[in-house]
Every structure is written in structure tokens, then in C-alpha cells.
Amino acid sequence: MMPPDNDSDLRRRLEAYFDGRLTPEETEELGRRLREDPEARRHYWDEAHWHSALSVWGEQALGQKELQTEAAPCSECSQPDAEIRPEMGSDPASVGAPPEAASAPAFEPARAAEPGTQFEPVSVPARNPLRWWLPALAFAACLAFVFMLARRPASRGSAEEATFGGAATSGSIAAVQQPGTPKDATLPSAMPDSGAAHAGATLARLTYAADVVWSAASPVRDGSLDAGNYELERGIVRFETTAGAVVTVAAPARFRFVTADRIELSQGRITARMLREEANITVRVADMEVRDLGTAFGIDANDGSRTLVSVFDGAVAVTDAVHKGTAKQVVEGQSLIGRHQGGTVFESAAYSAEAFRDLWPLTVGINDASRLVEFLPPGPLLKPLRSYRANDRLYLFPEQQNVSTSRHLPIDLSAEVRSWPESQVSPYPLPPGVRVNSYLVFFQPEPAMHGVRRLNGSITFQQKIIAVMCSDQGLTESDAMLGDSKADYSTRGRRGLEELDKVNLKSTKLPHDSIRIGPDGRTIHFDFYVIDEREQMRVIVAAD
Amino acid sequence: MSEAPKQDPERLAHVQENFVRHMLALRGFVLGLVPNRNLADDIVQETFLVACQKAHTYQPGSNFRAWIFTIARFQTMTALRRKNGREALLSGDVVELLAQERPDDSALADRVAALDGCVGRLARTARRAVILRYSENLGPSDIARELGWTVNAINVALSRARIFLRQCVEHALRSGRPTPP
């Protein structure tokens, strides 16, 4: 029996009626209510109008899909005027119309439909022979509306200011973090070009500092670094020079900031990455000068007698500044050792990036990550992605940085749609012309993984997250544009996240994966239940 | 069997032309009266045939929409009488009452246009359910089978999706902007 309804109950009944879910008894009850209650009839038409609109939309969508897929004309449907006249004219008695009516101009709109178009979907129950022209007419009549749909470009996540002092989660970076260290420091929206290093000139702005202790004499003020001598006694800092370089320094370190594009390093470890083509920096250690050639590189000067230079990307030129010998060029995936013996003697060395592992995430724009996130070693991909396997962690691989999207890309999460897969809406595609940094986060089990693991944590980026791709389609379609050109992304089977509960999979019942962008817009929280299948997501953040 | 009245070709063409012009609204009207899309299609088709038969009774210049909707209303009643009761549909008298009180749905075309963008904004899973329901014309139990969900989950998903779509479409119509997919 239908209870004395309130509006929502009536609406539920009406919804069920239009979905064909009511039993005859319930339908009869609904009829009684409609017969007696004018307000219920008003609700009925409100619901009916939406049902009608959705049904018409559904047929149009189907018609469009078939227009797109019906590339090859078939022998039956390619007959001229086969759309209407054969039916109308074939049995004029039944319609009471004279044969000439079949050629009436009234049907021109329908005849204008594409020859070869079929409107009968395979999966729809068979219809009687005459009904096929109805969708055709509806489609022709409504096509104009479809073309009227303008596409609004997707909104961009703005490259807002970086913060230092990331979220207080633990991890490879978090080990040097301390809650309550410097509050948010902001980068100016446009930094001035490199200038002369007169006293008091601001050469860089801090973008990250955690658990940091500077010597009292270090000229750090209000998140700015001026020309002068610095001594970092504890912690790791990252700053962006006005010459366009991101520099990360780990304590203990002593250096002199000479100009915006020149640092003299006496001790410590440092990594640098150029943000744009015209950016540059030269780092001098004793007599040795390392000049970037559009690169990312690291220098370890903790041993007074030798300095290690490793190039992660691009190339650097290394010279002996005193003896002015021939510059040596070191390219990505190579290391060089300079021995300081009254001049510098250069030695080639096996590529070594281990000394920079803790600096690398900060250098590529990641402020914080849970312990279970392991960064691929800095530098070029030295072994295939599929070789990175572990059952208890995720890998993070920085892909293309500061790249501009060249076409619309399907995405699954954005600054506006922040949870997946629970959200009822899909975000707008990522439009062309957006400069982004791309990161691949992936789980890849060892060959014989048994059981179930829950991987739950977060990653905080320096810049705002503007999109996440976690479906097979989104990942595959963005590989070429955002992925590393040297990486092989080809996989067998699924690679995206699992949006449905994993039921009866190896007798294991698992919840689905979920990801969420945090309120700061820079942190992605993930909760994966992993078994023996790979899972990937591509996180896109605003370029620096 | 009575002989079909001789048709004026111009009058017939006029009726057919107007039928095409009003067909979207007519389909909306019939779909509002009978939720079964196949049955609604049958009714619209029968309406067209009867309108052609009775074209000579239509007076050019009079309200074509009222004329064709009246035919459709009778065809709906006829179709409901023919139904064998296997499907739970409202009885003829209720449908007749509803048809008489039908409010104008002049926004149907706009709603359909806006839906195209709004459906594109649904989450993937909800979008799949909506497409199967309205594009493939499957019922909730068939959709549940197709997606491997429970029927109840499908009902909930469809209901939520419709709420979102309604809000999205109303927003699009209010703002006067089509919603991008």
C-alpha cells in the first residue's frame, strides 16, 4: 500500500514508474493518487518532462554515435531515398495517402539525413518496420541543437604560490620536515630578471624550508635570499632564483650567492633544475665551475678534496676556472668527479645519483610524500618502468616538466572535481595550451604477489594539482604528450585504477580504489587495495 | 470497408510538414503519457498515419499542435486498451486525465540540448548507466546485468544521476549557456 505520501515519496514512485519498476499493484495505487490529487498530477508532469527529455536525448545520442560509426555504406541503406519513401509508398492504402504523397516536400528534412545512416541500434529490441524513421526525423529536427552546443574551455588550476613546511606526514622528504617551521611564503607572480648582486638585492625566494637552521649571519629575510654568504646548519631548503632556476640545498652547506645566476659552493649538496629555456645558473666549487646547458643536475661538495657532478637531464659544461682548460661536457646519465689539487682534475665516473635522492623530489616539485612512495632515482630512466616492482609501495616517476598540452585530454579528477570515483560528475577535459608538470604514480607488484595490501597515503606537490588521469583511456591518451619519451608505457591488460569493488577476484572481496585532492589543492590522497595487478595514475600539476 | 477519402496533396503535404515541425514536442507528450519508449514510438507512428488519413479534416491556419496532440491522445488511449496487462501502465482514465492537464513543455528542446553537455559531466559509472538506460533503452535489471551491479545499485545510481542532470540542465538554461561535455 502506498503510504500517505509526501512529495519525495511520490517522486520516488513516479521515478520508479518511468523506469518500469512498479508492480501492477503499485501502479494501480499510483493511479488512484493521480486520479484524486491535482498536485500529484502536477508532480507527474514535472517528472514526465524529464523522462521525455532524457529519452529524446538518448535517441539522439544513439543516432549521433551511429552516424559516427557508420562509415561504410551498406547495400541496403545506400539506396537513394530509402529513408522514407519506400515505407510510405509501399502501402498507401494503409495510410490512406495517395502514392504522390510519398514524394511530398514535407519529408525533405528526413531525406537530408546522411545516406547510409542506420538508426536502428543492435542492442535495442526489434521495432516494427515503419518505426525507424522516427528517430531519423527526430535526429534531423534536433541536430541543430547539438551543433549549437558551444564548448567552454576547461578552467585551469592556477599556478599559485608555493608553500614551505608541507603536510606533517612522514616520508622520504618528511624526514626533514618539522611542523611549525616557517609559514607560507609566497612567490611573486612574476619574478624580475637576473640582476646585479648589489648588497640587499633579492636573488631568490624560498619555496620550501623544513627543520631548517641558518647561521645568524645568513641574509635570509621574509622568505627572500639576498646576495651574500649563507650557512645552512640543518635541514633542506629549496629556492627559486630570479634567473629561473630551482635550487635545492641540503645541510650542512655553506655557499655564497653572488648573483642570481651564480653560486659559489664551499660545502654541501645541491641540485638545480632550470624552469625555462632562458634560465641559467653556474655553480663554482673551488676552482671548478659547473654551468648548466638547460638541465637538471646535482653537485655533492661534502668532501673537500673532490666534488661529484651528476647530470639528471640535458647537459652541463664543467671547467677549471683557474687554469681555463677545455670545458668538459657532461650529459644526462653521466657523472664526473673533480679532484681539487691546486687546480681541478676531472675524472669520469659511473653515473651516481644516490647522493641526491633526498633532494630530487623537492627539485622536481614534490614537497612531501608518505613513506610508501618511492621516487625513481634522479636522472634518466635507467631501466624499463616495468622493472620497478614492489608489493608494499608506490613508485613516483616525474615525467615531462613544463610541457604545454597540445589537445584536449580526458581526465578523471580536477581542481573542481576532487574525488574519484565517488563524484557524480566528470571533470572537463584538460584543454590545449596549458603548461604542466606530469608525474606517474604507479603500483607494480612483484611477479608472485599473494594476498591483499592496502596502500594509503598522500603526496603533496609544490604547485596546484590541475588534473589526474587514472583510467586506462586517460593514461593511454596522455602517454605521448606528457609521458617520458624514453619510457615504455605499453602494458598488457588494465593499468588504471579500479573504480568498482573487486568482488570475487581470487575469492577476495575488496573495496574499490579511491583518490581525492585535498583542500590545499596540492595534495593527493590515495587509498588503494592492491592485489596482483598494476595500478597507475598520472598527476598533472601547474608548471612552475 | 469504407473507401479512403480523396486527399488534397497540398493539404497532406502541409500536415506532414507540420508533423515534422512538431514531432519533438509530440514525442515528448507521448513519452510523458507512456514510459515505455517502444510503445510511445508506436503511438507516434500511428498518430502520423492517422494524421495523414485525416489530413483533409485539418483546417490550415488552425492550431496544428492542438489538432495533432488530440490525435495522439486518442492513439494513446487506443494503445493502452490494446495492452495485455503484462506491463504495469496507468489506466486509460488516469492517462486521459493527465493528458487533459498536460502543461506546455516548450523547454523540451532546450533541455535536450543542455543534457548533451550535462551527461558528459557525469562520472563515468553514472554516465554508463544513463546511456544504457536512455540510449540503449535498457531497464534497470538489464543495466545491472550489463554492468555487474545489483539492481538496487543501478536504481540509486540512476536516481542520483537524474538529480544531478536536472540541476545541471536548470543551471544551463538559467545561465543561457550550453554546458560543455
- Average of pLDDT values for A496-506? 61
A89 touches B: beta carbon within 8 Å: no
Query: Chain A residue with minimal CA distance to B93?
Result: A35
Burial class from Cβ neighbours inside 10 Å (0-12, 13-18, 19+) for residue B17 reads middle
- At A299, give phi and psi (nearest 5°): -130, 130
CA triplet A146, A422, A541: central angle to 5 degrees?
Answer: 80
Most confident option among A227-236, B22-31, B60-69, B145-154: A227-236
pLDDT digits (tens, 9 = 90+) for B70-101: 999 999 988 888 765 556 788 888 988 898 88
B177 touches A: beta carbon within 8 Å: yes
Place of cell 496487462: B85
Say whether A54 and B115 touch across the interface (CB within 8 A).
yes
Question: Which of A96, A98, A149 is facing B117, going by the closest CB pair?
Answer: A149
For A437-487, what is the HEC assignment? EEEEEEECCCCCCCCCEEEEEEEEECCCEEEEECCHHHHHHHHHHHCCCCC
- At A409, give phi and psi (nearest 5°): -125, 130
B98 touches A: beta carbon within 8 Å: yes
What is the pLDDT at residue A187? 28
Rounded to a whole number of angstroms, the distance from the CA of A510 to the nearest CA of chain B is 15
For A490, residues 6+ apart whose C-beta sits below 8 A from its C-beta are: none
pLDDT score of A418 more than 60: yes
What is the pLDDT at residue A90? 31
| Pick among A2, A88, A95, A501 to test the B interface (most B CBs inside 10 A) | A95
* Chain A residues close to B137, C-beta within 8 Å: 58, 124-125
pLDDT digits (tens, 9 = 90+) for A200-252: 678 999 999 878 899 988 888 878 999 999 999 999 999 999 999 999 999 99
B171 SS3 class? helix
Share the mean pLDDT of chain A: 73
- At B53, give phi and psi (nearest 5°): -60, -40
First vs last Cα of chain A: how many Å apart?
63
For A78, residues 6+ apart whose C-beta sits below 8 A from its C-beta are: A115, A116
- At B10, give phi and psi (nearest 5°): -70, -40
pLDDT score of A3 more than 80: no
pLDDT score of A501 more than 50: yes
pLDDT category of residue A155 using cuts at 50, 70 and 90: very low
Q: Are A486 and A384 in contact (CB under 8 A)?
A: no
pLDDT digits (tens, 9 = 90+) for A46-97: 999 999 999 988 877 765 554 444 333 333 333 332 222 222 233 322 323 3
B101 touches A: beta carbon within 8 Å: yes
Query: By C-alpha distance, which of A120, A237, A256, A134 is closest to A197?
Result: A256
- At A104, give phi and psi (nearest 5°): -65, 145
Percent of all residues in chain A with a pLDDT value above 70, rounded to a whole number: 70
- pLDDT, greater one: A522 or B1: A522
- pLDDT, greater one: A176 or B15: B15
* Chain B residues close to A49, C-beta within 8 Å: 28, 32, 105, 107-108, 111
Taking phi first (over 0 means left), then psi (-120 to 50 degrees means alpha), and beta for anything else, what does residue A493 get? left
Query: By C-alpha distance, which of B152, B115, B47, B146 is closest to A57?
Result: B115
Helical (H) or strand (E) element with A236: strand A228-241
Q: Are B8 and B54 in contact (CB under 8 A)?
A: no
Say whether A146 and B130 touch across the interface (CB within 8 A).
no
Say whether A35 and B112 touch across the interface (CB within 8 A).
no
What is the pLDDT at residue A145? 29
For A318, residues 6+ apart whose C-beta sits below 8 A from its C-beta are: A288, A289, A290, A291, A309, A327, A328, A329, A330, A336, A338, A346
What is the pLDDT at residue A188? 29
Q: How distant, in Å, are the alpha carbons of A82, A133, A544, B47 from that of B9?
A: 21, 21, 71, 19
What is the pLDDT at residue A115? 30
What is the pLDDT at residue A476? 92
Q: Are B157 and B163 in contact (CB under 8 A)?
A: no
- Whole-angstrom Cα distance, residue A295 to residue A309? 12
- pLDDT, greater one: A521 or A104: A521
Secondary structure letter of residue A218 according to DSSP:
S
A44 touches B: beta carbon within 8 Å: yes
Q: How distant, in Å, are the alpha carbons of A57, A194, A330, A528 from that of A278?
A: 52, 11, 19, 41
Percent helix / strand / coil, chain B, rounded to 5: 70, 0, 25
Helical (H) or strand (E) element with B78: helix B64-82
pLDDT digits (tens, 9 = 90+) for A334-353: 999 999 887 788 888 889 88
A447 touches B: beta carbon within 8 Å: no
Place of cell 614534490: A366
| Beta pairing class for A523-530 and A514-517 | antiparallel
pLDDT digits (tens, 9 = 90+) for A263-289: 999 999 999 999 888 888 999 999 899
pLDDT category of residue A502 using cuts at 50, 70 and 90: low
pLDDT score of A526 more than 60: yes
Percent of all residues in chain B with a pLDDT value above 90, rounded to a whole number: 8
- Average of pLDDT values for A104-131? 29
pLDDT score of A257 more than 90: yes
Say whether B180 and A428 touch across the interface (CB within 8 A).
yes
Helical (H) or strand (E) element with B48: helix B37-53
pLDDT score of A146 more than 50: no
pLDDT category of residue A41 using cuts at 50, 70 and 90: very high
pLDDT score of A103 more than 60: no
Dihedral sign, CA of B137, B140, B142, B147?
A: positive
Place of cell 584543454: A431
A486 touches B: beta carbon within 8 Å: no
pLDDT digits (tens, 9 = 90+) for A158-211: 222 222 222 222 233 332 232 233 323 322 223 333 344 555 678 999 999 878
What is the pLDDT at residue A311? 94
What is the pLDDT at residue B5? 58
